[in-house]
């Protein structure tokens, strides 16, 4: 059994594809480094991430697929599920078929990649909808997220385009990293979350900026007032707005 070990980066995964061609060895499993269980016995091959190799695989994808479809393996990979082999098989299939196969939904790998891609994209879209900023005393707008997939890289550009004239932080509490926009550019950060309640995502009262609390109350009031009680339909609400998001949503929290 051939076990390929990579460093849990997308470049690493692309390098794996390259090396597999290079070594003429087909992996049976591809696992991230720290997930390796020693009980797995077999031929272990450690992949050393190489941007040049990764680039070559990526360029190959770009040649064979349309621009939109090149994102498919990347977004599927962001799901952080055990799909390395799927991505591998998909990329090999793309390379080894003389024509473009991105729309062959009758093929199991193409369909699976597309469906994963949809899951990740959907989660990202919902985060755009349900993420809530709170203004801090430093005039930074802070938001907590804890998505099931690692969607932060996908959503940054949306917020960069939208909130150009305010400082903001989006912080993934689950994965312990975030991004900070300082009016010029966005950079990755890690924070000591001293002023954030990780259960509710809320910043503590003394870190809240002026009138932040008032606007939270106003938003809650508004949320209650636009509801038409005669049409109550909680299932429909939950279809559109799954409960896992409620935790960090201002309108669904008890304000103290």
Partner 1 sequence: MSLDIREKLKILANGAKYDVSCSSSGSNRSNHGKGLGNSVYAGICHSFTDDGRCISLLKILYTNYCIYDCAYCINRKSNDIPRAAFSVKEIVDLTINFYRRNYIEGLFLSSGVILNPDHTMEQLANVAKELRTKEKFFGYIHLKAIPGASYEIIKKAGFFADRLSMNIEIPTEQNLKMLAPEKDYRGILQPMQLMKEGIIESKEERRKYRTSKAFVPAGQSTQFIVGASPEKDQLILKVASGLYNQQKLKRVYYSGFLPVNEYDKRLPAIKEPPLIREHRLYQADWLMRFYKFDVNEIVDDLHPDLDLEIDPKLSWALRNPWLFPIDVNHADYEMILRIPGIGVRSAQMIINARRYGKLSVDKLKKIGVVMKRAKYFITCSELPPAVKDLKPEAIRTKILTEALVPVKKIQKPVQLQLYFG
Residues at the interface with partner 1 (CB under 8 A): 101, 103-107, 111, 125, 128-135, 141, 143, 158, 161-166, 211, 215, 217-219, 221-237, 239-241, 249-251
Q: Which residue has the tokens 């055990």?
A: 82
Name the phi and psi angles at 245, rounded to 5: -85, -20
Quote the CA–CA distance of 247 and 51 in Å, as a whole number. Answer: 39
Residue 102's closest CA among 133, 63, 138, 129?
Answer: 63
Quote the CA–CA distance of 178 and 187 in Å, as a whole number. Answer: 8
CB 127 within 8 A of CB 151: yes
Q: What's the min distance (Å) between Cβ of 60 and partner 1?
A: 21
Of 115 and 204, the one with the shorter C-beta distance to partner 1 is 115
Name the phi and psi angles at 236, rounded to 5: -60, -45
Of 59 and 100, the one with the shorter C-beta distance to partner 1 is 100
Classify 236 in phi/psi space as left (phi over 0), alpha (psi -120 to 50) or beta: alpha
Quote the CA–CA distance of 44 and 46 in Å, as a whole number. Answer: 6
Of 143 and 196, the one with the shorter C-beta distance to partner 1 is 143
Q: What's the min distance (Å) between Cβ of 144 and partner 1?
A: 12
Q: What's the min distance (Å) between Cβ of 3 and partner 1?
A: 30
**What six digits make up the tokens of 228?**
């038409």
Q: What's the min distance (Å) between Cβ of 61 and partner 1?
A: 19
Q: What's the min distance (Å) between Cβ of 84 and partner 1?
A: 22
Of 37 and 233, the one with the shorter C-beta distance to partner 1 is 233
Of 91 and 145, the one with the shorter C-beta distance to partner 1 is 145
Of 41 and 240, the one with the shorter C-beta distance to partner 1 is 240
**What six digits make up the tokens of 47?**
């992949």
Q: What's the min distance (Å) between Cβ of 14 and partner 1?
A: 25
CB 76 within 8 A of CB 116: yes
């Amino acid at each position: 059994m051939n076990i390929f070990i990579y460093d849990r980066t997308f470049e690493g995964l692309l390098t794996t594809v390259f090396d597999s061609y290079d070594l003429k060895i087909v992996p049976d499993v591809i696992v991230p480094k720290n997930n390796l269980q020693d009980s797995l016995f077999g031929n272990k091959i450690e992949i050393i991430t190489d941007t040049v190799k990764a680039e070559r695989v990526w360029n190959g994808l770009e040649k064979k697929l349309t621009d939109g479809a090149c994102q498919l393996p990347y977004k599927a990979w962001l799901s952080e599920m055990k799909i390395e082999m799927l991505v591998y098989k998909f990329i090999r299939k793309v390379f080894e078929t003389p024509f473009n196969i991105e729309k062959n939904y009758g093929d199991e790998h193409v369909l699976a990649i597309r469906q994963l891609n949809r899951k990740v994209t959907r989660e990202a879209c919902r985060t755009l909808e349900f993420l809530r900023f709170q203004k801090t005393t430093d005039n930074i707008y802070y938001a907590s997220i804890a998505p099931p997939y690692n969607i932060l890289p996908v959503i940054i550009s949306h917020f960069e385009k939208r909130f150009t004239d305010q400082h903001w932080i989006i912080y993934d509490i689950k994965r312990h990293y975030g991004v900070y926009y300082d009016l010029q550019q966005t950079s990755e950060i890690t924070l000591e979350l001293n002023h954030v309640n990780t259960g509710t995502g809320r910043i503590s009262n003394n870190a809240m900026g002026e009138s932040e609390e008032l606007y939270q109350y106003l938003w809650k009031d508004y949320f209650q007032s636009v509801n038409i009680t005669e049409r109550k339909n909680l299932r429909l609400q939950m279809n559109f707005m799954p409960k896992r998001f409620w935790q960090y949503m201002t309108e669904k929290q008890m304000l103290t």
